[in-house]
């Protein structure tokens, strides 16, 4: 889902429970790793604002100190991961707002948060809807993946992952924008030792199949908002598509693509960055996905929380 914020289109964190859940591997079945939830704290803090580098952290009243530290450390660790894996960090002042009262958190009750890029002199912002059940019920691992996912959206805004020469409007194409953020989120928690890459791949493949993705489905129909949100496996397919693209080139290929897209049509940037045309890539994706069937079948509980699945 995309939403307007301060006159620009921001990417909503779409770990939504409305049928578009990002793939998850938290849970205890089948030996899948489950990161511990931050230790509960009886210390409820007043509102606070702190700064670390380019990041300003704003926490609502009533949050525990442990949760504040959890969010802050994940964002800073994610930014460090970007530098070590891609040679790129967040380069603009950014607000990390953890709140229960922002209007979009109230309206989008099933969203754990959303992100908007800088505009008109106002800083970029990641909003975390800490009172929404979609945030409260997430495992620690999936909260960390979600935060790194949103942090990478800021990289996309800064690099202008839009159509050539366009400086406003949505980041496009949808499956690449969301798939790259989801993939980087998984790689981020992998770098923390919380999950293996095969588990991430297997769970995304499993979730796509459980959501009803046909065996011959590809990514060509997920380029725009309507197509992406018209299926229940958009995030899973996006993550797996990016995984296939960077198998031989790794994460720097994503920033190469972003840099090229700012000055040429995205399909041309795609072929230059990843070494394959979109036509050939789309044709080969079903076979790649089929090759993950053994990984998918070996996964246990791939839900992101302990609630019943909403589909």
Share of the chain above pLDDT 70, in %: 83
- Which residues lie below 8 Å from residue 164, measured CB to CB, with a gap of 6+? 261, 262, 263, 264, 265, 266
Gap between the Cα atoms of 216 and 99, Å rounded: 42
pLDDT in tens, 197-236: 999 999 999 999 999 999 999 999 999 999 999 999 999 9
In a domain, residue 260? The reply is yes
Gap between the Cα atoms of 124 and 134, Å rounded: 23
In a domain, residue 107? The reply is yes
pLDDT score recorded for residue 14: 36
What CATH number did the domain enclosing 19 receive? 1.10.390.10
Low-confidence spans in the chain with pLDDT less than 70:
1-43, 164-165, 305-311
In a domain, residue 99? The reply is yes
pLDDT score recorded for residue 43: 66
In a domain, residue 303? The reply is no
In a domain, residue 116? The reply is yes
Encoded tokens for 127:
């909003």
Domain ranges, residue 205 = 2-297
Domain total for the chain? 1
Q: Per the confidence metrics, is the pTM higher than 0.75?
A: yes
Cβ distance 118 to 124 under 8 Å? yes
- Which residues lie below 8 Å from residue 280, measured CB to CB, with a gap of 6+? none
Listed in order, strand segments (DSSP E) in 113-169 are: 113-116, 124-129
In a domain, residue 309? The reply is no
In a domain, residue 292? The reply is yes
> Considering just the CA atoms, what is the radius of gyration of the chain in Å?
18
In a domain, residue 147? The reply is yes
pLDDT in tens, 7-40: 333 334 333 322 223 333 332 223 344 444 554 4
């Amino acid at each position: 889902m995309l939403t307007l914020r301060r006159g620009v289109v921001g990417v909503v964190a779409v770990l939504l429970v409305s049928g578009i859940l990002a793939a998850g591997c938290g849970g205890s079945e089948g030996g899948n790793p489950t990161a511990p939830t931050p230790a509960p704290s009886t210390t409820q803090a007043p509102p606070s604002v702190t700064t670390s580098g380019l990041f300003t952290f704003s926490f609502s009243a009533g949050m525990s100190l442990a949760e504040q530290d959890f969010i802050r450390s994940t964002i800073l660790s994610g930014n460090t991961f970007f530098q070590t894996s891609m040679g790129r960090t967040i380069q603009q002042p950014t607000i990390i707002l953890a709140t229960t009262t922002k209007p979009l958190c109230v309206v989008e009750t099933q969203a754990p948060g959303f992100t908007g890029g800088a505009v008109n002199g106002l800083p970029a912002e990641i909003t975390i809807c800490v009172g929404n059940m979609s945030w409260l019920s997430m495992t620690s691992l999936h909260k960390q993946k979600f935060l790194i996912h949103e942090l990478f959206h800021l990289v996309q805004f800064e690099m202008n992952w839009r159509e050539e020469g366009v400086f406003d409007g949505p980041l496009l194409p949808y499956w690449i924008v969301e798939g790259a953020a989801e993939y980087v989120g998984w790689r981020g928690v992998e770098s923390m030792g919380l999950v293996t890459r095969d588990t991430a791949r297997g769970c995304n493949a499993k979730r796509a199949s459980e959501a009803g993705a046909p065996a011959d489905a590809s990514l060509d129909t997920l380029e725009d908002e309507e197509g992406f949100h018209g299926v229940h496996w958009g995030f899973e397919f996006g993550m797996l598509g990016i995984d296939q693209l960077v198998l031989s080139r790794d994460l720097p290929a994503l920033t190469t693509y972003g840099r090229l897209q700012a000055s040429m049509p995205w399909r041309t940037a795609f072929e230059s960055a990843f070494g394959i045309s979109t036509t050939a890539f789309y044709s080969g994706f079903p076979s790649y996905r089929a090759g993950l069937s053994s990984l998918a079948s070996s996964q246990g509980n791939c839900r992101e929380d302990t609630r019943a699945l909403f589909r």
